[in-house]
Amino acid sequence: MNRFWKNSVMMIGLAGLLGAGAMHAAGTTKGGSSTANAAAVKRGKDVFQQKCSVCHYDNSEQKKIGPGLKGISKRGTFSVNGNKITDESLKTWIENGDQLMPPFKDVLEPNQIKDVVAYVKTL
């Protein structure tokens, strides 16, 4: 009986390792993030530093020219208009701007905007 339990524990452990290895090979982790998402965040940070950091802090909530973006995902709504902060609303805001922010749809490629959204969500 003792041998049965040892073998059972070993099989469960092996199954767990195989499952973790398969998830890693697919680029996913327990939280559902992926290697591709990490790359998007990195690209987004680079674009943010080049294009957005002129007006926005990414490491502070303090206003620069525009609002600081640290913690923007936790705020829930935009302070300017009260709209809900979602991937789509961030994308639209970056593309179209408003009376205080210039539009970036002609400055950034669509994939760059998606990358910036991915980065901003991590702040």
Do 2 and 59 share a structural domain? no
Q: Are residues 26 and 66 in the same domain?
A: no
Q: Which pLDDT score is estimated for 99?
A: 87
Which residue type sits at 29? Answer: T
d(CA 70, CA 59): 5
Q: Which whole-number Å values give the CA distances from 59 to 26, 74, 87, 111, in the listed order?
A: 31, 14, 20, 23
Tens-digit pLDDT profile for residues 86-111: 999 999 999 999 888 999 999 999 99
The whole-model pTM stands at 0.69
Question: According to the model, what pLDDT value does residue 43 have?
Answer: 97
111 and 51 within one domain: yes
Q: How far is CA 95 from CA 18, 53, 106, 110, 114, in A?
A: 43, 16, 8, 9, 10
Give how many domains the chain has, as a whole number: 2
| Per-residue confidence band for 81, with pLDDT thresholds at 50, 70 and 90 | confident
- Cβ atoms of residues 61 and 68 within 8 Å: yes
Q: Are residues 6 and 59 in the same domain?
A: no
**Same domain, residue pair 43 and 101:** yes
Q: What's the half-sphere exposure (Cβ side, CA atoms, 13 Å) at 37? A: 13
The reply to whether 54 and 100 lie within a common domain is: yes
Least Cα distance to 40 among 120, 95, 123, 103 occurs for 120
* pLDDT averaged over every residue in the chain: 80
Same domain? 19 vs 68: no
User: Are 28 and 74 within one domain?
Assistant: no
Q: Alpha-carbon distance 82 to 72, whole Å?
A: 13
User: Are 27 and 83 part of one and the same domain?
Assistant: no
Residues in a beta bridge with 42:
none
The CATH number given to whatever domain includes residue 109 is: 2.60.40.420
User: Could you list the residue range(s) of the whole structural domain that residue 73 is in?
Assistant: 33-120
Within 13 A of 16's CA, how many CA atoms are on the CB side?
A: 7
34: three-class secondary structure by DSSP: strand
